[in-house]
A = this chain, B = another copy of it.
Amino acid sequence: MPMQHFDLKSLNEMASRYRVQLINSLSGFKSANLIGTCNAQEQTNLAIFSSVFHLGASPALVGFIMRPDSVSRHTLENIKQTEQYTINQVSEDFWRKAHQTSAHYNSDESEFEQVGLTPEFIDGVTAPFVKESRIKYALNVKEITPIKLNNTLLVIGEITNVICESSVIKSDGYLDIEAANTVAISGLDSYHSSTRLSRISYAKPHKEALDIPLNGSIE
């Protein structure tokens, strides 16, 4: 298979938009999530992020990366004001609406209304959930860490509430996000559905890991 090698010189000399596409493709599949917030005046905001990642289960921490000067700056301002936000998995049913939240709306326009998604509230959480999302959770912000290397921010929150379709919960706690039609992103603009290869058991040296049933562990 013919291979292409970009060295440091060719990466540095690359046209900016080409470089953005290439570098954005390198990390592999990205998660697709809508972050819901509101400000102190209860104006709701919704923004798509491809940088949400698992950080730890105990405490239950999730991180995401944002640029303070980007279209999603209202997300940051609202999180600072209210200290709460929701993360809502994007599914095949509404991925185009989710993508549309990345347009530059004015601060008095709610993306919910503009793209046609429905805000949903629960007691104790001021931030809006996305009603259409099948797996979603609320967080309290714990830490906002500047990454000086490129002036981005790592926002870390602790999960306080999880809401998901009962049918996707497997007996060992695994959520079948594929059955919830959750999508993945690659690069800047490509959306993908998934097909499970298998669940597979915890790896041990000098033993072959085994396929495990969708509904839980063989151990």
Establish whether residues A87 and B54, one from each chain, have CB atoms under 8 Å apart when the complex forms.
Answer: no
Query: Which residues from B are CB-within-8-Å of A192?
Result: 178, 194-197
Known: A28-B32, A184-B184. A190 touches B161 (CB 8 A): no
Given contacts A53-B65, A95-B197, contact A190 B163 (CB under 8 A): no
* Contacting residues of chain A (101-122) with chain B, CB-CB under 8 angstroms: 101-105, 109, 114, 122
Q: Are A150 and B28 in contact (CB under 8 A)?
A: no
Task: Report chain B residues within 8 Å CB of A17.
Answer: 172-173
Count this chain's copies in the assembly: 2
Query: Contact at A175–B103, with CB atoms within 8 Å?
Result: no
Tell me the bound Cα distance from A177 to B58 in angstroms: 32
Instruction: Digitize A1-27: 1 where CB-to-B-CB distance is under 8 Å, 0 elsewhere.
Output: 111111110010011111111111111
Does the CB pair B19–A27 fall under 8 Å? no
* Contact A29–B177 (Cβ < 8 Å): yes
A79 at the binding interface (Cβ < 8 Å):
no
Known: A26-B137, A190-B198. 19 other contacts (CB 8 A): A2-B165, A18-B173, A21-B175, A22-B162, A24-B54, A25-B174, A26-B62, A27-B52, A29-B31, A61-B149, A114-B206, A149-B158, A174-B187, A174-B190, A175-B186, A178-B192, A183-B197, A193-B194, A194-B194
